[in-house]
């Protein structure tokens, strides 16, 4: 089955630090769902730069939903504070230097990125994306049936006073 997709822009921001080893920190600040005409806008656009804080709108991103990741979407949506997870990297060339690479709403996928030592941060889940996820989850997510497990019974393994190998 083909993935469901929604185009989004990621707002990246540079925050100044007063630290011995670093002068600034980049981080995703928000996710903005966009309409189908998103391809006509520039890939990156500076929104503000007041000397202290800089914000960029990075376009061309998509959130993709796959049926095999439905449990991760369900876990995220039912969490007390649902998130959109942005995997981003620093680049030597181009503006801004910090750009999103992958945007996901799956807890499982975000955890795999973090296990691979990627830079992943969560931002608030927009209500329109949450509604889109609910419809997908209703169609594709089926909770795993919990089965009662059998306890280990050493006596059951014996026959005629001897143990089975």
Rounded distance, CA 101 to CA 65, Å? 16
Of 1-10, 25-34, 131-140, where does mean pLDDT reach its minimum?
Answer: 1-10
> pTM value?
0.81
Contact 52, 70 (CB under 8 A): no
Instruction: Give the 3-state DSSP-derived string for the chain, with helices as H, strands as E and coil as C.
Output: CCCEEEEEEEEEEEEECCCCCCCEEEEEEEEEECCHHHHHCCCEEEEEECCCCEEEEEEEEEEEECHHHHHHHHHHHCCCCCEEEEEEEECCCCCCCEEEEEEECCHHHHHHHHHCCCEEEEEECCHHHHHHHHHHHHHHCCCCCCCCCCCCCHHHHEECCEECC
Say whether pLDDT at 123 is over 60: yes
Residue 157 has pLDDT above 60, yes or no: no
- Residue 127 — pLDDT band, cuts 50, 70, 90? very high
Q: Are strands 4-16 and 54-65 parallel, antiparallel or unpaired?
A: antiparallel
Radius of gyration from C-alpha coordinates of the chain: 23
Q: How confident is the model at residue 1 (pLDDT cuts 50, 70, 90)?
A: low
Reported as a single tens digit per residue, the pLDDT across 88-117 is 999 988 888 999 999 999 999 999 999 999
The answer to whether the CB of 15 falls within 8 A of the CB of 56 is: no
Which pLDDT tens digit goes with each residue over 37-78? 655 566 788 888 887 788 999 988 999 999 999 999 999 999
Residue at token pair 């929604």: 6
pLDDT at 16 over 90: no
Nearest Cα residue to 88 out of 14, 23, 7, 38? 14
Report how far residue 9's alpha carbon sits from residue 24's, in angstroms, rounded to the nearest whole number.
22
């Amino acid at each position: 089955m083909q993935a469901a997709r929604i185009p989004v822009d990621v707002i990246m921001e540079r925050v100044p630090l007063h630290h011995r080893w670093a002068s600034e920190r980049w981080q995703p600040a928000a996710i903005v769902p966009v309409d189908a005409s998103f391809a006509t806008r520039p890939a990156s656009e500076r929104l503000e730069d007041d000397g202290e804080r800089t914000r960029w709108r990075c376009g061309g991103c998509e959130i993709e939903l796959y049926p095999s990741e439905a449990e991760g979407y369900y876990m995220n949506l039912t969490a007390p504070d649902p998130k959109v997870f942005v995997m981003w990297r620093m680049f030597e060339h181009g503006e801004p230097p910090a750009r999103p690479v992958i945007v996901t709403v799956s807890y499982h996928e975000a955890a795999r990125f973090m296990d691979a030592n990627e830079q992943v941060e969560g931002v608030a889940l927009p209500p329109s994306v949450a509604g889109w996820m609910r419809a997908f989850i209703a169609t594709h997510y089926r909770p795993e049936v919990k089965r009662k497990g059998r306890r280990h019974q050493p006596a059951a393994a014996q026959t005629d006073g001897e143990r089975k190998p």
